[in-house]
Amino acid sequence: MPRPDAIRTPDACFADLPDFPWQPRYRDDLAGYEGLRMARIDEGPEDADRVFLCLHGQPAWSFLYRHMIPVFLDTGARVVAPDLYGFGRSDKPVDDGTYTFGFHRQSLVALIEALDLRRITLVVQDWGGILGLTIPPDMADRFDRLLVMDTVLGLGGGSTDGFDAWRRMHGEHPDYDMAALFMEYVPGMSDKVAAAYAAPFPDARYRAGARRFPFLVMTDPDMEGVEISRRAARWWSSEFRGDSFMAVGEEDKLIPPWLMKRMHEILGITRPPLMLSEAGHFVQETHGADVARAALAAWAEDPEG
């Protein structure tokens, strides 16, 4: 049973997920989060030489990585794809105020430490990057590669028209049709795939985390997470000694290509980004396997540094 301050999406909601054969593994003993269950996909040898840590954003969950996971596993690596609290199969605190930048970030730090993950390739998009990109500076010995897609560091420098519309929609219609939203952002998505994305959120009680995220994005300089994000930006550009690869959805309205170009500079990536002319915000959904293969090929043939 979940803690009294949280609820848990019934397992029946996740029946018959398309192209997602992996069974979740759980931890309810993360330091500082005792009794709150975090789910993750955790495949491949636990003693593998390489770990791909795949972090999703809002309002997705680890299902987003289903096209990339097999490509990473084929290298003999371990793949860990957690569901953030409030998403996927992880427990969902019911109080919207529980969800803060620090709450989410520290839960990922606790998971990395609990699993003792090392030689990590960090794979991020959306909030997975807003959170995940701030973590390696504090545990640099655990990370040596980065695969980044359509995300930013929250530096408090304003917003885009697309994101302003996204935030406004969440304020005006917090209980929107989740499946319909995914079908709008990914034209041609099947009803079954859209239903899988919506599966963790059977009604409004389960949506506290999804409701909060747009209002946590650090668009103003006094917001929580700005200082640690600015410190991370300095670290990526001057101290990271690993290898990086960026893929950009050219049709992304939330994080447009010009902003990703700026992120390319901030993160100190020297290799040109992979520009995906037909991709929008959810690159993993439409081009996941191709991006994974392209990153692996680039790292094998022309390693940076």
Residue 193's pLDDT is: 98
Q: Which residue type sits at 25?
A: R
- Cα separation, 186 vs 205, whole angstroms: 26
* DSSP structure class, residue 83: P
Q: Among 189, 168, 165, 171, which residue's Cα sits nearest to residue 179? A: 189
pLDDT digits (tens, 9 = 90+) for 214-269: 999 999 999 999 999 999 999 999 999 999 999 999 999 999 999 999 999 999 99
Q: Do strands 92-93 and 6-7 pair parallel, antiparallel, or not at all (unpaired)?
A: antiparallel
- Cα separation, 81 vs 65, whole angstroms: 8
Q: What is the mean pLDDT of residues 196-202?
A: 98
150 is annotated as an active-site residue? no
DSSP bridge partners of 147: 123, 245
Q: For 126-162, give the DSSP string.
A: THHHHHHTTSGGGSGGGEEEEEEES-----S----HH
281 is annotated as an active-site residue? yes
Among 56, 104, 264, 281, the active-site one is 281
Residue 136's pLDDT is: 98
User: 6-299: which CATH architecture?
Assistant: 3-Layer(aba) Sandwich (3.40)
DSSP bridge partners of 245: 147
Tokens 């999703």 -> residue: 56
Predicted confidence (pLDDT) at residue 302 exceeds the cutoff of 90: no
Residue 305's pLDDT is: 39
Residue 55's pLDDT is: 98
Predicted confidence (pLDDT) at residue 303 exceeds the cutoff of 80: no
Residue 1's pLDDT is: 84
pLDDT digits (tens, 9 = 90+) for 106-155: 999 999 999 999 999 999 999 999 999 999 999 999 999 999 999 999 99
Among 83, 170, 252, 287, the active-site one is 252
Q: Which two tokens stand for residue 176?
A: 């929107």
Q: How confident is the model at residue 191 (pLDDT cuts 50, 70, 90)?
A: very high
- Cα separation, 148 vs 295, whole angstroms: 10
Q: What is the mean pLDDT of residues 71-98?
A: 98
Per the prediction, the chain carries an average pLDDT of: 96
Q: What is the mean pLDDT of residues 202-210?
A: 95
Q: How confident is the model at residue 301 (pLDDT cuts 50, 70, 90)?
A: confident
pLDDT digits (tens, 9 = 90+) for 167-180: 999 999 988 999 99
- Cα separation, 144 vs 141, whole angstroms: 8
47 is annotated as an active-site residue? no
Tokens 């970030």 -> residue: 105
Say how many C-beta atoms besides its own lie within 10 A of residue 158's C-beta. Answer: 10
Q: What is the mean pLDDT of residues 94-102?
A: 97
Q: What is the mean pLDDT of residues 57-83?
A: 98
Cis peptide before 59 (omega within 30 of 0): yes
Residue 2's pLDDT is: 86
Say how many C-beta atoms besides its own lie within 10 A of residue 45's C-beta. Answer: 11
Domains in the chain: boundaries: 6-299
Among 83, 126, 150, 243, the active-site one is 126
> SS3 of 19, please?
coil
Predicted confidence (pLDDT) at residue 304 exceeds the cutoff of 70: no
* DSSP structure class, residue 82: E
Q: Among 229, 261, 232, 258, which residue's Cα sits nearest to residue 160? A: 258
